Amino acid sequence: MNMHRRFSRSLVLLGFSISLLARAQGPPQSGGDFSSNPHPSVLPSNVILVKGAWSSASDSVTPLPEGGRVANNAYSNQYFGLTYSLSQDWTEKYSGPPPSDSGYYVLAQIRSADTFMGTSRGSILIAAQDLFFTLTPAGNALELINYDKESLNRDYKVEQPPTLVTIANHSFVRFDYGSPVAELHWHVLATQIRCHMVQFVFTSRDTKLVESLVEEMGKMTLPAEAGPISGRGGGEVPVCIKDYARDENVLERVDPIFAERRFNPVPVRIIIDKQGKVKHIHFLSAFPDQAKAIADALSQWRFRRCLRDGEPVEVETGIMFGRAPRPATLRSTNAATE
Amino acid sequence: MKTIKLASALAFLMALFFPGMAFAQTDPGVRSNTGVNAGQPYASVSANANDLAFYQAGFAQFNEHQTVTGDNPGLGPRFNLDSCGACHSQPAPGGTSPAAGVFPNVGPNPQSQVIAKGVVIGSTNTIPFFVQPNGPVREARFPFFFDRFGNPNPNAPNGGVEDLFTVSGRADAVSCNLQQPSFNAAGATRNMIFRIPTPVFGAGLIENIDDSTLLANQAAQAVFNRVGISGTFNHNGNDGTISRFGWKAQNKSLMIFAGEAYNVEMGISNELFTQDRPLPGEDQLGSGLPANCLNLAGVGYPEDITHSGGTSASTVTSDTALFSVFMKFLDQPTPSTTSPGGATSIANGRRLFSAVGCAICHTPSLTTQASNLTSDLSKATANLFSDIEIHHMGVGLADNVSQGGAGGDQFRTAPLWGLGQRIFFLHDGRTTDLLAAIEAHQSSGSEATAVEEFFDLLSPSQKQDLLNFLRSL
């Protein structure tokens, strides 16, 4: 019995010594940089798990500009109130990046499908530029396209200067240019909806293909406000007013308290309800801690009610947090006018 | 015989009637017929004896092999290699990852040779599976920490460098006994990404571009049809100015870049990073490096210092500052106007590069501000082919590592100068084929997808011109 006890004690001591030795030899074998699990979980591939400044919103119900989808041979976007039909030869292979901190959106990137049987291929880019945050001094879609034309470098040739056209019973500005060296043609059609320039860019070597795509735009549906200058909301959506959050309209303001010093621009679109309270916040590009701090602050803001024809209306406006807004300095000449 | 004749006739007819099909574009490969076109100091540096002495001292330090103790002390206890110049060597010191058998035949991946050369001891270290003699020099990072059960934990971002080797087993490491990180487990769980060395030719020019120039360039690109592109800048956390070095533009200056690399890649503490560096997990576990792995050089900390007993400017200066001087004074690469493909093809390719939109991000040149260092850095044209912005590059390239303001899918526009004599492409060196590198620019979430599609719309001969242009840089 005694011998058995001594043997057991020796075993315990031996085990303890081995464990001490193992500790002295290096860090533990799990956690940190060391793993010895024979059946570990595997991370998914092709997923962005660590995001930097990204888009988010205060609720998941209110439509967002980036919320459009290509499905059933059509691109539809509830925020912009548009539907654009595609032929079966066109598909979206890759979705776009998140909205940028200067208010640029890639809404859809559509290309000739692998089954496309035509002689020339092409691509369709549907993009938007939030006119509250654009780095150019354009006040509307028409001015923005005119700036595009003015800034065209010598690699390109203007094929049709910015011109007003009617598509699907709405006014668009159309601008065609090409690259002689690349033998590519770009036809740009833009309108304005909710203070965004919404842009369709058709690209191909074949002008007939591009022209046919422009013609097919006639089947699209758009909100009544759409137009190169006129798209300023209203009706079933809030009116959009640049710089509505200026001093004379803000009755109560609380600045966000950021826990960490960052230096990125944080563009935010808000919808103010008829009582002057912030109803919805869309962070175009913000780190989660920034979004939280801004949301906490904006919930305390009170705005002067906006009246149209004597009636209060909802207002959509933009506020740039973080870095100070950049001043616009450029001017365009020889511009098309509406 | 009849069959051969028939095949030849068919090939001739195909080439005659379907030239596009008969001529597929290919990467011309590393440019080898123009000599080594990088790795020299600026003329204004060579013309000034003091500046040249500094440059030469920096060059020597850059290529020196460090040891744990002795004349060049401080290596380890964890490190990726023992010399700056061993990793940054293609096609000349200051460049990027070499390979054996590719011009100018610098040699095999030096990380694959560390046991053979006695830098590490084979009984205590293994060469990780992703380090191959013909592959790129690699730095490994685990995007996430493992939990205590050995699973990568997506709620615990890591992203720090996991040094490949330890000094354990070396005679001068005495009793320091460290294990290498679990590279096999990390690979099996997809919890590992790689980075290759960024070339530093012309880095002094990049450092000397004022923020206002970068901001003006960003605004100028925004005016024109952006075709999906809209980048931003990474910022230095201390003063808020634009940072610019590293794959995610996370480092502000070359001095910081040098100090961090000396500490992280070679394990040498210095006046910017003053302690020996444990693995991210060693810090996370609250243990740090064990006491018997500290001060292995026996000189105290920091291991690299400014030498008050020096007898000249270059002998007073710390290694870190000399690395910085070397990089600042290293001229930008010289492109070829004729090779590969001839002058016409290269000129055409350059115009195509701009026409399809590559130049929106890969800005061909930017002008530096006045320099207090040397005249060739002053008001100079940096032909860098980068806007120094960070861009979303999509799920195909995302590495899920955040650095400063850059998220897991954002990368600095890689400067393309010197590309003609690079072997490995993209941040992780995943390909040696320039065409594959271009194609990798498109994936869901990438700003470059539309531009890559425009490239796809070019004819094979146009694509070849563009590839020739890139390999002329």
Q: How far apart are CA B38 and CA B92, in angstroms?
A: 7
Chain B residues with CB under 8 Å of A109 CB are 228, 449-450, 453
CB atoms within 10 A of CB A17: 10
Nearest CA in chain A to B177: A25
Is the CB of residue B56 less than 8 Å from the CB of residue B244?
A: no
3 state DSSP class of B304: coil
Q: How much is the pLDDT for B21?
A: 45
User: Could you give phi then psi for residue A108, rounded to 5 degrees?
Assistant: -160, 145
Chain A residues with CB under 8 Å of B391 CB are 97
Q: What is the DSSP letter of A12?
A: H
Q: Among A127-136, B203-212, B219-228, B326-335, which is the least confidently predicted range?
A: B219-228
Is the CB of residue A136 less than 8 Å from the CB of residue A144?
A: yes
Q: Residues A173, A285, A237, A58: what is their CA dihedral angle, to the nearest 10 degrees?
A: 170
Q: How much is the pLDDT for B287?
A: 84
Record: contact B446-A97, CB cut-off 8 A = yes
Chain A residues with CB under 8 Å of B387 CB are none
Amino acid at A63: P
DSSP-derived secondary structure for A290-308: HHHHHHHHHTT-EEPPEEE
Q: How much is the pLDDT for A307?
A: 96
Within B64-210, where are the H helices?
Answer: 84-87, 183-188, 203-207
Q: How much is the pLDDT for A45?
A: 95
Record: contact A98-B392, CB cut-off 8 A = yes
CA of B48: how far to CAs of B43, B55, B60, B254, B374, in Å? 9, 10, 18, 21, 9
Look up the pTM and report it. Answer: 0.92
Record: contact B444-A95, CB cut-off 8 A = yes
Q: How far apart are CA A170 and CA A155, in angstroms?
A: 32
More confident call, B178 vs A14: B178
Nearest CA in chain B to A287: B405
Q: Is the pLDDT of residue B10 over 90?
A: no
Amino acid at A46: N
Nearest CA in chain A to B228: A106
Within B154-272, where are the H helices?
Answer: 183-188, 203-207, 211-223, 254-266
B91 preceded by a cis bond (ω within 30 of 0): yes
Q: What is the pLDDT along chain A (338 residues), one digit of tens a residue?
A: 455 555 555 554 444 444 444 444 444 445 689 888 889 999 999 999 999 999 999 999 999 999 999 999 999 999 999 999 998 889 999 999 999 999 999 999 999 888 777 778 999 999 999 999 998 888 999 999 999 999 898 889 999 999 999 999 999 999 999 999 999 999 999 999 999 999 999 999 999 999 999 999 999 999 999 999 999 999 999 999 999 999 999 999 999 999 988 999 999 999 999 999 999 999 999 999 999 999 999 999 999 999 999 999 999 999 999 876 555 544 433 334 44
Express each pLDDT in A204-238 by its tens digit: 999 999 999 999 999 999 999 999 999 999 999 99
Record: contact A28-B285, CB cut-off 8 A = yes
Express each pLDDT in B451-473 by its tens digit: 999 999 999 999 999 999 999 99
3 state DSSP class of A250: strand
- A251-A256-A261 Cα angle (round to 5): 150
Q: Is the pLDDT of residue B18 over 60?
A: no
Residue A212 burial class via C-beta count within 10 angstroms: exposed 0-12, middle 13-18, buried 19 and up: middle
Q: How far apart are CA B464 and CA B469, in angstroms?
A: 8
Record: contact A155-B354, CB cut-off 8 A = yes
Structural tokens at position B308: 């008050």
B interface mutation test: which of A21, A34, A35, A287 has the most B CBs within 10 A? A35
Is the CB of residue B128 less than 8 Å from the CB of residue B140?
A: yes
Q: What average pLDDT score do residues B101-123 get?
A: 97
Is the CB of residue B282 less than 8 Å from the CB of residue B298?
A: no
Q: How much is the pLDDT for B286?
A: 76
Nearest CA in chain B to A263: B240
B411 closest CA partner among B373, B447, B368: B447
A81 closest CA partner among A128, A117, A35: A128
3 state DSSP class of A60: coil
Is the CB of residue B68 less than 8 Å from the CB of residue B170?
A: yes
3 state DSSP class of A198: strand
Q: In chain B, positions 319-358, which contact chain A (CB-CB < 8 Å)? A: 348, 351-352, 354-356
Q: How much is the pLDDT for A119?
A: 77
Express each pLDDT in B48-94 by its tens digit: 999 999 999 999 999 999 999 999 999 999 999 999 999 999 999 99
3 state DSSP class of A73: coil
Record: contact A204-B457, CB cut-off 8 A = yes
**Contact B230/A at CB under 8 A:** yes
Is the CB of residue A170 less than 8 Å from the CB of residue A191?
A: yes
Q: How far is A2 from chain B (nearest CA, A)?
A: 40
| Structure ipTM | 0.92
Q: Is the pLDDT of residue B242 over 70?
A: yes
Contacts by B61-64 with C-beta closer than 8 Å and gap 24+?
Answer: B61/B319, B61/B322, B61/B323, B61/B326, B62/B88, B62/B93, B62/B94, B62/B322, B62/B323, B62/B326, B63/B93
B77 preceded by a cis bond (ω within 30 of 0): yes
Chain A residues with CB under 8 Å of B392 CB are 97-98
User: Cα B270 to the chain's mean position, in Å?
Assistant: 22
DSSP-derived secondary structure for B352-421: HHHHTTHHHHS-S-EE----SS-GGGTT-EE-------EEEB-TTT-----BTTB-TTEEE----TTGGG
Among candidates B351, B395, B401 on the partner chain, residue whose Cβ is nearest the Cβ of A181 = B351
Record: contact B225-A201, CB cut-off 8 A = yes
Q: Residues A176, A179, A184, A187: what is their CA dihedral angle, to the nearest 10 degrees?
A: -10
Residue A74 burial class via C-beta count within 10 angstroms: exposed 0-12, middle 13-18, buried 19 and up: middle
Q: How much is the pLDDT for B224?
A: 63
Q: Which residues pair with B139 in a beta bridge?
A: B195
Is the CB of residue A109 less than 8 Å from the CB of residue A96?
A: yes
CA quadruple A82, A86, A90, A93: dihedral positive or negative?
positive
Express each pLDDT in B180-189 by its tens digit: 999 999 999 9
Structural tokens at position B385: 């082919």
More confident call, A98 vs B18: A98
Q: How much is the pLDDT for A116?
A: 77
Structural tokens at position B165: 């080797």
Q: How much is the pLDDT for A112?
A: 87
Express each pLDDT in B360-419 by its tens digit: 999 999 999 999 999 999 999 999 999 999 999 999 999 999 999 999 999 999 999 999
Q: How far apart are CA B233 and CA B254, in angstroms?
A: 18
**Contact B284/A at CB under 8 A:** yes
Q: How much is the pLDDT for B223?
A: 72
